[in-house]
Amino acid sequence: MSTERIKIYKFGGASVKSAASFRNLARIVKSQGGKRQLLVVVSAMGKTTNALEALHGMAYQGQNFISEFEQLKEYHLQVLQELFAEQDHPAFQRLEHLFEQLHNQLQEITPNSNFDKVYDQTVSFGELFSSTILHYFLEDQDLANSLIDSRKYIQTDTNWREGKVDWAWTERLIRRDVPALLEQGLVVTQGFLGGTNNGLTTTLGREGSDFSAAIFAYCLNAGGMYIWKDVEGLLNADPKHFPDTVRYPEISYQETVEMAYYGASVIHPKTIKPLANKRIPLYVKSFLNPEGEGTKICDCRFEVVAPAYIIKEKQCLVSFGVKDFTFISEKNLGTIFNALSELRIKIHLMQNSAISFSICTDYNPERLHRLIQTLQDQFVIHYNTELKLYTVKNYNAASINRIMEGKQVLLEQRTRTTFQVVSR
């Protein structure tokens, strides 16, 4: 039995946001993918994950969530009604049941719950809904498929909201069942979700469905992984911010990892490593134009790559000063790094001077407050919010001028390949 030809398709929220998008997806599977040896990984519909995060937050604060809950249910039922003519189609019953489970889950949440743990048990429903709909819809389209529960395959620890994958175990489970299912037909599963050894749900971090697809690709020795997006491929900037983007026809794993690290939102940062380890090419293609060339990310090397512009929004700059006019010591830095690591605050950029140390990070008021509480006895802490971190990778003089134009810069840093500024 050869597993060489297995393909993994990942469809994000935008590609399943409406009945029309589900129909488009089925067309792509039919025309591009075929009926066997294809595993489809799907995200939650549209902005469902955000809606579930909001529901979880409301339940945690003891607020009444019923109207938001009904709204989310209505959205899903609406899509079902458009996709399935018969109102007694099993998909309706299945969805009703899942929504009932979500409702029970929300009711169990109290202000004393473990916030992150119940987050995973709640927010995971988005992918359970979308994968269930997709399963029945593809079946109706003459695309027989097995729906598998990725929580039973991708095994993680209990690092809630960012489960750490147990690779050996995950690989064993996937290889035990999935190749045989792929021989028979399509396989559909959820992105973003993992499971623990005692049957609890974990998630792999926001936008983690790309990573899920890469985990399956790795474990199945897939011939290629495809991410279907609403853009033509991997672009050098976000078209929302830059009118004149260029598409990279082919780019190396290394370049892509670095772009993801700096915040290019096109691919989840953890996605590349498992693919690169097995040299599985990653294709980024447009679900609006499936025939388009897209981008091939692979083990290639090009000398000249167009400058990539990456913007991280909602940043804050936090500076730590020592209280007694002595210098910032390595011991001080150790204390600060420890606190950051404990609170899982990720540093996007850092800089130190004689008497202070600054970091640029996502603005999360709750975590920042805890950081200040932890360190305020030892340091004078200041912070600025509503900032942006601009990164230009493979910069040149023109690209720097472009990014600096009209900006009030708070911090600037450059290496041989990368230029970064934090500004308002």
Q: Kindly state the tokens that stand for 162.
A: 């960012």
- 38 exposure class (CB count in 10 Å sphere: 0-12, 13-18, 19+): buried
Q: Which stretch binds ligand ASP (CB under 6 A): 98-106, 107-115, 202-210, 322-330?
A: 202-210
Q: How far is CA 58 from the centre of its chain?
A: 23
Site membership for ligand ASP, residue 194 (CB under 6 A): no
- Partner in contact with 389, chosen from ligand ASP, Mg ion, none, beta carbon below 5 to 8 Å by kind: none
Q: How long is the chain?
A: 424
Q: Which amino acid is at 316?
A: C
Is 35 near ligand ASP (CB under 6 A)? no
269 belongs to the binding site for ligand ASP (CB under 6 A): no
192 sits near ligand ASP (criterion: CB under 6 A): yes
Binds 155, which of Mg ion, ligand ASP, none (CB < 5 to 8 A, cut-off by type)? Answer: none
As a whole number of angstroms, the distance between CA 213 and CA 223 comes to 13
If the CB atoms of residues 12 and 194 are measured against Mg ion, the closer one turns out to be 12
Rule CB under 6 A: is residue 420 a binding residue for ligand ASP? no
Do 393 and 257 touch, CB atoms closer than 8 A? no
Tell me: does residue 208 bind ligand ASP (CB under 6 A).
yes
Beta-strand pair 7-11/224-229: parallel
Stretch (H or E) spanning 127:
helix 125-140
Give the nearest distance from C-beta 274 to ligand ASP in angstroms: 16
Region binding ligand ASP by CB under 6 A among candidate stretches 206-214, 238-246, 302-310, 400-408: 206-214
Q: How far is the C-alpha of 241 from the C-alpha of 14, rounded, in Å?
A: 19
Nearer to ligand ASP, 43 or 122 (CB): 43
Contacting range for ligand ASP; rule: CB under 6 A; set: 20-28, 42-50, 156-164, 397-405: 42-50
> Considering only residues 126-185, where is the footprint of ligand ASP by CB under 6 A?
126
233 binds, among Mg ion, ligand ASP, none (CB under 5 to 8 A by kind): none
φ, ψ dihedrals at 77, nearest 5°? -65, -35
Q: Judged by CB, which is closer to ligand ASP: 13, or 194?
A: 13
- Contacts to Mg ion by CB under 5 A: 12-13, 43
Q: Which of 33, 46, 179, 191 binds ligand ASP (CB under 6 A)?
A: 191
The answer for residues whose C-beta is within 8 angstroms of residue 43's C-beta and 6 or more apart is: 10, 11, 12, 13, 16, 49, 126, 127, 130, 191, 192, 209
Question: Contact between 124 and ligand ASP (CB under 6 A)?
Answer: no
| Residue 206 contact, options Mg ion, ligand ASP, none, Cβ 5-8 Å cut-off depending on partner type | ligand ASP
Shortest Cβ 45–ligand ASP spacing (Å): 9
Whole-angstrom CA distances from 82 to 6, 87, 210, 315 are 32, 10, 28, 41
Compute the C-alpha angle 47/260/404, nearest 5°. Answer: 100
CA distance 103 to 90: 20
Distance CA 229, CA 10 (A): 9
Residue 37 site contact among ligand ASP, Mg ion, none (CB < 5 to 8 Å, cut-off depends on kind): none
Q: Give 209 or 236: the residue with its C-beta nearer to ligand ASP.
A: 209
What is residue 226's three-state secondary structure?
Answer: strand
- Minimum gap (Å) between residue 98 Cβ and ligand ASP: 15
DSSP line for 272-311: HHHHHHTT--EEEEESSSTTS--EEEES---S--PPEEEE
361 membership: H or E segment, kind and range:
strand 356-362
Question: What are the structure tokens assigned to 180, written together?
Answer: 């045989």
Check residue 317 for interaction with ligand ASP (CB under 6 A). Answer: no
> Does 207 interact with ligand ASP (rule: CB under 6 A)?
yes
Q: Which stretch binds ligand ASP (CB under 6 A): 41-49, 275-283, 299-307, 387-395?
A: 41-49
Alpha-carbon Rg for the chain, nearest whole angstrom, is 23
User: Minimal distance in Å, beta carbon 298 to ligand ASP?
Assistant: 22
Which span (59-67, 92-100, 200-208, 369-377) binds ligand ASP, by CB under 6 A?
200-208
In angstroms, the CA 107 to CA 55 distance is 11
Contact region with ligand ASP (CB under 6 A), list: 58-66, 91-99, 204-212, 277-285: 204-212
Give CA–CA dist 290/19, Å, rounded.
Answer: 18
What is the amino acid identity at position 330?
Answer: E
What residues between 330 and 349 interact with ligand ASP by CB under 6 A? none
Contacts with ligand ASP, residue ranges (CB under 6 A): 12-13, 43-44, 49, 126, 191-192, 206-209
